[in-house]
């Protein structure tokens, strides 16, 4: 398979890079001083693209690669890939579902605990020596709080299962009510936010779900409510989130994702009721290795004319 050209869009995992390099003629887009010229120069040998949550095959890239057969994404989220164009051109698309579900759901629970129990602030309190001068303030209990989940897919279900172990009543919003769950369904996000104390975003990013958490939803969640975003930044209207937190209309937020990563609104840096993570939902050694193996496994299957392991298109 030496001569098959694979274009990797950005550096994402060194093990994945090595495994691709061993099998294919790997083109690393980020090493090119002039990206459009680089793509043009290798367009006739590139048959696969490897991207991730921040860089995918958009319409422009797909058009520029006439021999493209498959896009193998190192992510479960595929919002950066033009799926319609891939379908139209018969380009296969694979992703990495299931293998990362536990990590993302674990992190959602971690963010809930971190925001309500003020774990990061407590840590700073000890490190700065302030403990020696007084008592730390009281925080907010997590067990038993009602958790509302936007999107009851694989990750949403895994969050629900974990939160249940903390005796949290679970409710959810999704486009349609699920027949196979006992959790309470609300037909709108505003109703969900009005009836829960912790609101978790766990749905895919699409045109329909962009800014699904808007001013109205934040107001419905209220001054004691906490927003947890482990989905995608654009699910939340970020300037509205900043105002809601600063004005005290929203109680707190635990964020792993942002509208313009790696840019994070600086107004959030001074707020102690906010916990900010650098998009690390799947970032464990174990999970990233399995994700990498799946990216490579899908490419191998494709080029051997075998069934894809995790096809999306
Ligand atoms: C990563 C993700 O950020 O799977 C997703 O959708 O957001 C994450 O796994 C990323 O793709 C790894 O580079």
Number of domains in the chain: 2
- How does pLDDT run across 58-74, given as a tens digit for each residue? 999 999 999 999 999 99
In a domain, 93, yes or no: yes
Tell me the CA–centroid distance for residue 277 and ligand 1, in Å. Answer: 14
In a domain, 312, yes or no: no
What number is the average pLDDT over the span 14-29?
Answer: 98
In terms of domains, do 269 and 120 share one?
A: yes
In terms of domains, do 115 and 260 share one?
A: yes
Predicted confidence (pLDDT) at residue 139 exceeds the cutoff of 90: yes
The number of beta carbons lying within 10 Å of the beta carbon of residue 128 is 10
Q: Which domain holds residue 22?
A: 5-97+286-303
For ligand 1, atom 5, which residue shows the shortest CA distance?
75
Ligand 1 neighbour 75 (Cβ under 6 A): yes
In terms of domains, do 243 and 296 share one?
A: no
In terms of domains, do 60 and 202 share one?
A: no
In terms of domains, do 166 and 298 share one?
A: no
What number is the average pLDDT over the span 130-145?
Answer: 96
In a domain, 308, yes or no: no
Residue 3's pLDDT band (cuts 50, 70, 90): confident
In a domain, 310, yes or no: no
- How does pLDDT run across 64-117, given as a tens digit for each residue? 999 999 999 999 999 999 999 999 999 999 999 999 999 999 999 999 999 999
In terms of domains, do 265 and 121 share one?
A: yes
In terms of domains, do 116 and 232 share one?
A: yes
Cα–Cα distance between 245 and 252 in angstroms, integer? 7
Cα–Cα distance between 107 and 243 in angstroms, integer? 25
Write down the pLDDT at residue 1. Answer: 44
Residue 171's pLDDT band (cuts 50, 70, 90): very high
- How does pLDDT run across 271-301, given as a tens digit for each residue? 999 999 999 999 999 999 999 999 999 999 9
What number is the average pLDDT over the span 183-193?
Answer: 98
Predicted confidence (pLDDT) at residue 2 exceeds the cutoff of 60: no
In a domain, 52, yes or no: yes
Ligand 1 neighbour 85 (Cβ under 6 A): no
- How does pLDDT run across 37-53, given as a tens digit for each residue? 999 999 999 999 999 99
In terms of domains, do 265 and 295 share one?
A: no
- Where does residue 270 rank: exposed (0-12), middle (13-18), buried (19+ CB within 10 A)? exposed
In a domain, 309, yes or no: no
Say which DSSP state 90 is in.
T
What number is the average pLDDT over the span 294-310?
Answer: 98
Atom of ligand 1 nearest to the CA of 291: 9
In terms of domains, do 241 and 114 share one?
A: yes
Atom of ligand 1 nearest to the CA of 77: 6
In terms of domains, do 233 and 105 share one?
A: yes
Beta bridge partners of 199: 148, 227
In terms of domains, do 34 and 118 share one?
A: no
Ligand 1 neighbour 52 (Cβ under 6 A): yes
What number is the average pLDDT over the span 22-42?
Answer: 97
Output the domain CATH number for residue 207.
3.40.50.720
In terms of domains, do 201 and 292 share one?
A: no
Cα–Cα distance between 86 and 82 in angstroms, integer? 6
What number is the average pLDDT over the span 220-243?
Answer: 98
In a domain, 281, yes or no: no
Chain mean pLDDT for the chain: 97
In a domain, 18, yes or no: yes
């Amino acid at each position: 398979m030496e001569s098959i050209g694979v274009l990797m869009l950005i550096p994402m995992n060194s093990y994945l890079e090595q495994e691709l390099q061993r099998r294919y003629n790997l083109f690393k887009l980020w090493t090119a001083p002039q990206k459009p010229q680089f793509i043009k120069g290798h367009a006739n040998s590139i048959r696969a693209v490897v991207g991730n949550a921040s860089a995918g095959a958009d319409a422009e890239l797909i058009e520029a690669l006439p021999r493209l057969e498959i896009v193998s994404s190192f992510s479960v989220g595929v919002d950066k890939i033009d799926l319609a164009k891939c379908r139209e051109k018969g380009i296969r698309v694979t992703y990495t579902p299931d293998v990362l579900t536990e990590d993302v759901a674990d992190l959602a629970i971690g963010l809930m605990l971190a925001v309500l129990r003020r774990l990061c602030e407590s840590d700073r309190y000890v490190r700065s020596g302030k403990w020696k001068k007084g008592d730390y303030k009281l925080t907010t209990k997590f067990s038993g709080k009602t958790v509302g989940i936007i999107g009851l897919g694989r990750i949403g279900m895994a969050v629900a299962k974990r939160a249940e172990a903390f005796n949290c009543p679970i409710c959810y919003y999704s486009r349609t009510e699920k027949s196979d769950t006992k959790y309470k369904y609300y037909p709108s996000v505003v109703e969900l936010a009005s009836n829960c104390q912790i609101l978790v975003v766990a749905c895919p990013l699409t045109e329909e779900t962009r800014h699904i958490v808007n001013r109205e939803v934040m107001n419905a969640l209220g001054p004691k409510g906490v927003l947890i975003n482990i989905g995608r930044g654009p699910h939340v209207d970020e300037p509205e989130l900043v105002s809601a937190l600063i004005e005290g209309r929203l109680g707190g937020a635990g964020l792993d994702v942002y509208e313009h990563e790696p840019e994070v609104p600086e107004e959030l840096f001074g707020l102690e009721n906010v916990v900010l993570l650098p998009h690390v939902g799947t970032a464990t050694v174990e999970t990233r290795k399995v994700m990498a193996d799946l990216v490579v496994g899908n490419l191998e299957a494709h080029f051997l004319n075998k069934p894809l392991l995790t096809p999306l298109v």
